Each structure stands twice: as structure tokens, then as C-alpha cells.
Amino acid sequence: MIRQGRIGPGDGANNGGNNVQFCPLHERAQFTTWDEYPSRVLLAQEPTGKKVFDQIVRYAHGKKDTHTKTGHLKYMPELITTAPLREKGIYTVTDRRHPWIKGYLFVVDNPYVTVTTCRRPGKLSIFNIGGVPPGTHTVEVWHPFLEPVQRTFQVKVEASRITEVLIEFHPPAPPGGRTRPATPKAPPTKKPA
């Protein structure tokens, strides 16, 4: 959902957290806006950039006065809906009015997905994925800006037990793109005269 220039979950139409949502394979994704002006929603597959959806959504047609003068949301926004999404993977969601904002839609073929909710540096994100059947499963880790230390790993789930996993990320690259300090070079040696 797009609200006031932010792409977020809103109203439970799609599952997920801020800027990252999930959609079951072969289902439709829905978008809306509470913004006063129309937004043009673009949905593209990653990493190819293939556009799969491009449509304008409005808060309300010609009924902006109540919204802007009173501050109350008298009218429900319209929803725009994609065709069924037939390929799993990562899709980017952008809005032409707010080109600096990008959201992500994951089309998945199983219900065992989540978004961690901690947004404070240095704090742990705790998440729970319930109903996972016992057995060995592959965990896949993704982040829009950070590189996981291990993108996929195996985890053994036992019946009626809590399984803990530690997910770590490499530190972000500092300005200039170097991921670690440069190795100091030895000073040049002087040639004998």
C-alpha cells in the first residue's frame, strides 16, 4: 500500500512490514494511497526490471475538500489490483510521484515468511514463524541494503520446540564504497645515489 508517499503494508491487503510485503504465488497484489494526489504505481521484477504492472491510483475522485480542510478521512481510498502474479521472486514497487521511494514485494510459494520489525541500530530483531512442520528446512535471508553473512542455511525444526537462528549482516560500506580500510602500503624506498 502507498500512504502519504510511503510504501507500507496498510489494511492487511498484503502481508509484511514497512516497505517489504509478501504475496502468495498466483494471487493478486493490491495498492492504494491516502495521499491527496494521484500516484502512479509501477511493479517490476528484479533483477531484470521487467514491468508487470503500471497503474494510477487516487485517494478519492473530486472529493479532496473534506480530506484537506477537516483532516478527517471521510472517503475510503480506491484499490488497484494486479493480475495474478505467476512468477515467484522479488518485485520492486515504485511511485512516479515519489521516485526516491522503493518498496519490495516478495511473491512466495509457501506461507513461512516474515519481516523483522526492529528499526533501531544495535538492537536484536526477534521474529516468529509459526506452524513450520518438523524437519530440515532452508532459510533464505534478504535485506534491501545489507549483505547477509550467509544468504541461505539449513535449520532443523523439531515438533513443539522453539528453534533459534542467528542472522548476521556485513557492515554497510562507508561512503566511497570500500567495505574495509585499505591496507597501508610500505613507504617507497629511496634509491642510492
* pLDDT one digit per residue (tens) for the chain, 193 residues: 333 333 444 433 334 456 888 889 999 998 887 777 788 999 999 989 999 999 988 766 555 555 555 555 556 677 889 999 999 999 999 988 888 888 999 999 988 888 876 666 666 777 888 899 999 999 999 888 889 999 999 999 999 999 988 888 898 877 766 555 444 455 555 666 5
CATH topology for the 2-109 domain: Immunoglobulin-like (2.60.40)
> What length does the chain have?
193
Name residues whose C-beta falls within 8 Å of residue 184's C-beta, 6 or more positions apart in sequence: none
Question: Which residue ranges make up each domain of the chain?
Answer: 2-109, 116-173
Largest CA distance in the chain: 88
